[in-house]
Amino acid sequence: MKLSTRTRYGIRAAIEIAGHYGCGPVQIKVIGQKQAISVKYLEQLMAILRSGGFVHSIRGSRGGYVLAREPEQIRLDELVLALEGTITTAECVDDKDYCARAADCVARELWTKVQQAVMDVLRSFTLKDLVERTKVQHEALSYQI
């Protein structure tokens, strides 16, 4: 199982916006520079995040993107589902009819548990958690230099 670039970059963009929560909108070019993501690709990601109700866009020279909810109210499983869709470890996990052995397959039981574990981990983190971790990492790097 591998998450798409869309999901990985979308999460990074959301973390960047969450890091500025309460300080006004973040311009897309700033997000792109700080996260090394092209503005063109970010525009696509922001459209997904906007339609998912995670961000609002603000027009104008001082415009940009802001979170639609507080960072602690946005869980990573929600973002991943919006950006990636359902995470599936194997086709038979979501569709029992995919394989004739699904009813008594121990491997399917394993793939189901793996999929559930991934979703449980994603559900346990919010954007606020990741922003706080980012701050701790930056402080540690600043201290080492």
Considering only the top CATH level, what class is 5-144? mainly alpha
Q: Is the pLDDT of residue 118 over 70?
A: yes
Query: Furthest-apart CA pair in the chain: how many Å?
Result: 60
pLDDT band at 99 (very low <50, low <70, confident <90, very high): confident
Separation between Cα atoms, residue 69 and residue 59, nearest integer Å: 18
Higher pLDDT, 88 or 12: 12
Portion of the chain with pLDDT greater than 70, in percent: 97
pLDDT at 130: 97
3-state helix, strand, coil in the chain (%, to 5): 65, 10, 30
Cβ contact 62:25 at 8 Å: yes
Mean pLDDT value of segment 116-140: 91
Which residues, including other chains, have CB under 8 Å from residue 135's CB and lie 6 or more apart? 19
Domain definitions of the chain by residue range: 5-144
Specify the DSSP class assigned to residue 72: G
pLDDT at 139: 73
Q: Is the pLDDT of residue 5 over 90?
A: yes
pLDDT band at 145 (very low <50, low <70, confident <90, very high): low
pLDDT at 143: 65
Cβ contact 127:13 at 8 Å: no
β-sheet bridge partners, residue 64: 58
Which residue type sits at 53?
G
